[in-house]
Amino acid sequence: MHLLAGIGNFGESLGGYLIPFLFVLTIVVFFHELGHFLVARLCGVKVETFSIGFGREIVGWNDRHGTRWKVSWIPLGGYVKFVGDESAASTPDRRRLAEIPPEERGGLFHFKPLHQRAAVVAAGPFANFVLAILLFAGLFTFAGQTVATPVVDGVQPDSAAAEAGFKPGDLVLAIDGTEIESFEEMQRIVSASAGQALTFLVKRADGETRSLNATPRLEEMKDRFGNVHRIGLLGIQRDVKEGNFRVVKSDPLTSVWLGAKETWFIVARTMDYIGGIFAGREDAGQLGGPLRIAQVSGQVAAIGFGALISLTAVLSVSIGLLNLFPVPMLDGGHLLYYAVEAVRGRPMGDQAQEYGFRIGLALVMMLMVFATWNDLVHLFS
């Protein structure tokens, strides 16, 4: 009955999740593929297809360069297919390429110089990072940031903060030498540092400056939607009262810089999390797939459009970073092949590349199954 109830609740929420999910995913995928497309055109590569989604075409048109732009039925990704590709993963069609006369090979991706092929492949993830920076910058410019002063209003008993000697009224100035300008900045560092000793420079209410050593404890927290997160906590409390908060809007140049910092923070935190999984510090159950993204998209959309744009930026960083992993089938796998080619002075053999793509496909499918299983456990638990 519990499982059936969970399925029923999810079904009722599906409509509210689907539109925000498609909005977020379409923007992220479009810009990723647009990065590939624009650099390919810059390098004189002939593009056969630009597709948002997979499967049968819903609607499409041809541009003046002969590229087929289309929207397809399965809206879980997209691809750019070059002339001479065998599949959407840009695996070369060796038989077709061998039949093309040398004088007609100039516009084909697989005959381009190594540096141009690498640039085309890397442009997709790069476009995702650029999109994230611009989205964050837009939010910081027009909506602003809600900034809370990093003042300790209360300390929970028997907490890491209590053991370290924090007191109400303490103003946090720096953590491990990094200047702290807001309570949110302090929270992000602490939440990502469970089990790691941190040095806090604080200013007491009487003006005295002291150094405190504290180790955040790994604990499970539920957000406003009931999602469980495992994060580091100190046990510091903050009162929501007038004077503690202010909204700061930045000029466009400053916002771009802040957007770049935000993007880098997400990259660093993601890599730290992945490293923590292999080291046993993090729980792989936090990995989510399409169902989790759809659920979070719906929940965030209920907060407001700005929150949905922020989620789009975060997802764009995640997609860009994931595609840089050195796994065949992903952009990083192609870059790995090109690195081997640069060292050897010639491409890898067809058989070696084929085996690599099969292994890469298996790894990607395993990750998708694992993430989807996590989603189902999360949704129906």
Q: Which residues of 353-379 are buried (b: 16+ CB within 10 A; e: fewer)?
A: beebbeebeebbeeeeeebeebbbebb
* The residue type at 11: G
Placement of tokens 């890898």 in the chain: 348
Cα separation of 292 and 102, whole Å? 49
Q: Which residues of 2-36 are buried (b: 16+ CB within 10 A; e: fewer)?
A: eeeeeeeebeeeeebbeebbebbbbbbbbbbbbbb
CB atoms within 10 A of CB 184: 14
Cα separation of 39 and 112, whole Å? 13
Catalytic (active site) residue 33: yes
Decide: helix, strand or coil at residue 177.
Answer: coil
Distances (CA, A) of 133 to 216, 240, 266: 30, 30, 11
Cα separation of 85 and 134, whole Å? 32
Cα separation of 25 and 325, whole Å? 20
Distances (CA, A) of 172 to 180, 262, 265: 7, 21, 20
- What is the number of alpha carbons within 13 Å of residue 32 lying toward its C-beta? 28
Placement of tokens 């442009």 in the chain: 123
CB atoms within 10 A of CB 285: 14
Given the residues 33, 185, 262, 282, the one annotated as active site:
33
Q: Quote the distance between the C-alpha of residue 264 and its chain's center.
A: 11
Q: Length of the chain in residues, anyone?
A: 381
Decide: helix, strand or coil at residue 216.
Answer: coil
Residues marked active site are found at 33
